[in-house]
Amino acid sequence: MSQDEQFLEQLLDKLDQMMESDDSDALFVSGYLRGHITLIAGQLDFDKALTKDTLISKIESALFEARQTGELTPQDSELVKACWDNITLS
Is the pLDDT confidence value at 86 over 80? yes
Q: Where are the domains of the chain?
A: 3-89
pLDDT tens readout for residues 37-55: 999 999 999 999 999 999 9
Q: d(Cα 22, Cα 24) in Å, to the nearest integer?
A: 6
pLDDT tens readout for residues 4-38: 999 999 999 999 999 888 899 999 999 999 999 99
